[in-house]
Chain A
Amino acid sequence: MHEPSSPPTGIAWRWALIGIVVVGTAAAFGYVGGWLAPHRLTPKRIVDQLQQNGGMHPGYRRNHAKGICVAGYFDSNGGAQAYSRAQVFAAGRTPVVGRLAIPGGNPYAPDSSAPIRSMGLRFTQPNGQQWRTGMNSMPVFLVSTPQAFYEQAQSSAPDPATGKPDPAKIKAFFAAHPESAPFLAWVKTAKPSASFATESYWSLDAFVFVDASGTRHAVRWRMVPVDAGAPVDGSKSDADYLSADLTQRLAKGPQRWKLMVTLANPGDPTNDATKAWPSDRKEIDAGTLVLDQATAQDSGPCRDINYDPLVLPDGIEASDDPLLPARSAAYADSYLRRTSEEAHLPGTTAAHPKPETKS
């Protein structure tokens, strides 16, 4: 016999207690992990919806699937150094690997399918820290919360009967979301441009610059083209004019953008990307982005980069904008799907990019 001199009392209760502790711990784990909380908005649900809308295209991003890799550098003029201690803002040059793209989950969509272009950039500082940013060519975003983003994606899912989004659902979404009004006003006048180079790209989300003394400054930024000429409407007959235009322009010389940083006044909303800040806010010219190379995305250096907006160097921090953590989480999920497809992991559809019709 082992130690106890008398048999334990209440043996059934003791077994029950063990069972309750073990099952209770497992249940808590299942709840926190979302398996027992099916209604929680998770990165997986958002990306599933994007995937449903854009179609299944193994190896490609689940949003902004069609794009082209670019590379170059950022020449800082030191202008933003007083507001952020990030190394990238000290006067000098930082290498950049970027990606220009159009929104949507279909890598074969015609370039005229959306009036929006996007720019993802990864700056690699000498100290090894990185600044990654994904920007869109519009002055305001269409929603302010992840939940609304998800509902908007749901409302624009293709109808199984027609294969096209149901206009009534889209209308119903916007009727229920008055915060989208500034975006809708902008989109009425917006046209798909013939070139990536003529566009401005906005951070939309607010961030916080932290200066050398630790003082925090709420900011937004945008890339403004230098000498690219006025935007011209894109062709309707050619589906892939953007990459051709970029390659032609780069053959003549590098393309440049000014990085303009806008400082918030106290009280300007930092948690709502649907609201532009008043136009009289202080702006700083932080330097020039120079892009001098382009490569097809199937083989280019941007393919395996996740332009997660929360990969930030010391001196730049997230604001309280609720879109930021949702973007970070959803991009990570999308990144895992496409890298798993590249790796041909079991349970994934192997990545087999169609040859580009034009490059």
Chain B
Amino acid sequence: MSAPSPMFALPARVLHWLMAILIVSMLFIGVGMVASVSETHDLLIRIHKPLGIAILVLAVIRIAVRLRYPPPPLPADLPALQKLAALASHWLLYILMLLMPLIGWAMLSAGGYPVMLSESLRLPPIFPVSPVAFAVLRHAHGFFALLLFLTFLAHMGAALYHGLIRRDGVLSSMAGRRLP
């Protein structure tokens, strides 16, 4: 066995797994609620909005942590194309986790809806009321959600590839322990 590979900093690991659960849940909640007419629709939408804003707050913290604690380097022998793909997909994930909640908030503002996070907590609008902007932002919310889901699938596939096939310590640097 070689020396244990350097790990992501603890705050980075905690944020990563917490947000992974929240964001993947949000994607399922989002597509589930717009495809439902039952009580679940209302319940999911009540979870969707505050959880989305929580993700926005966590994403800001997470980017600060990312800048403060640089991640461990990728294995030196990783092909350049895979390195590029890793780098690009990571930044795409950061951009989308910021963008998705901002679009959600902006689209409700543009639609003239009060942005209610609970029965009584209302966020101020961040976009002027405009039906055209609403339509564009609402479609963007769906489009970027799909892009986020596909990026997540590739990310998860790549992590498993590192952990199960290459077994190069990349997965354990985030998981905190080694897979068999």
Interface residues of A (CB under 8 A from B): 1-5, 8, 11, 14-15, 17-18, 21-22, 25-26, 28-29, 32-34, 37, 40-44, 46, 127-130, 146, 210, 303-306, 308, 310-311, 314, 317-318, 320, 322, 324-326, 328-330, 332, 335-336, 339-340, 342-343, 345
Contacts and interface: CB of A to CB of B under 8 A. Distances in A.
A89 to B, nearest CB: 15
B166 interface: yes
A37 B36 CA distance: 11
A44 B27 CA distance: 19
Contact of A343 (B119, B135, B149): B135
Interface of B: 1-2, 5, 27-28, 31-42, 45, 75, 77, 111-114, 116, 119-120, 122, 124, 129, 131-132, 134-136, 138-139, 149, 153, 156-157, 160-161, 164-169
A277 to B, nearest CB: 22
A21 B156 contact: yes
Given A14-B164, A128-B114, A130-B114, A304 B131 contact: yes
Contact of B37 (A28, A41, A210): A41
B42 A310 contact: yes
B32 to A, nearest CB: 4
A306 B134 CA distance: 12
Contacts of A25: 153, 156
What 3 pairs between A and B have smallest CB-CB spacing? A34-B35, A33-B31, A314-B120
A120 to B, nearest CB: 13
Contacts of A41: 37
A2 B129 contact: no
Contact of B165 (A14, A210, A332, A335): A14
A5 B112 CA distance: 61
28 contacts: A2-B167, A3-B168, A3-B169, A18-B157, A18-B165, A22-B157, A25-B156, A28-B28, A32-B35, A43-B37, A46-B37, A128-B124, A210-B119, A304-B131, A304-B134, A305-B112, A308-B113, A310-B42, A311-B114, A314-B119, A318-B42, A325-B40, A325-B41, A326-B38, A329-B37, A329-B41, A335-B111, A336-B135
Contacts of A11: 165
Contact of B167 (A8, A146, A336): A8
B122 A129 contact: yes
Contacts of B41: 325-326, 328-329
Contacts of B37: 41-43, 46, 146, 325-326, 329-330
B32 A342 contact: no
Contacts of B122: 127-129
A339 B34 CA distance: 17
B42 A146 contact: no
Contacts of A2: 75, 77, 166-168
Most chain B Cβ neighbours within 10 Å, of A146, A210, A317, A343 = A343
Nearest to A320: B39
A28 B36 CA distance: 15
Given A18-B157, A345-B139, A29 B2 contact: no
A29 B116 contact: no
Nearest to B39: A325
Given A29-B149, A342-B135, A343-B135, 4 more contacts: A2-B77, A3-B1, A34-B36, A330-B37
A249 to B, nearest CB: 28
Nearest to B27: A29
A124 to B, nearest CB: 9
A34 B37 CA distance: 12
Most chain A Cβ neighbours within 10 Å, of B124, B157, B169 = B157
A240 to B, nearest CB: 25
Contacts of B120: 129, 314
A320 B42 CA distance: 11
Contact of A339 (B5, B31, B131, B169): B131
Contacts of B112: 304-305
Given A127-B122, A342-B131, A343-B132, A34 B39 contact: no
B39 A32 contact: no
A304 B129 contact: yes
A330 B38 CA distance: 11
Most chain A Cβ neighbours within 10 Å, of B39, B41, B111 = B41
Contacts of B165: 8, 11, 14-15, 18
Contacts of A44: 35
A29 B119 contact: no
A40 B41 CA distance: 13
Contacts of B169: 3
Nearest to B35: A34
Contacts of A127: 122
A336 B112 CA distance: 13
A129 B116 contact: yes
Contacts of B39: 320, 322, 325
Nearest to A30: B31
Contacts of A8: 164-165, 167
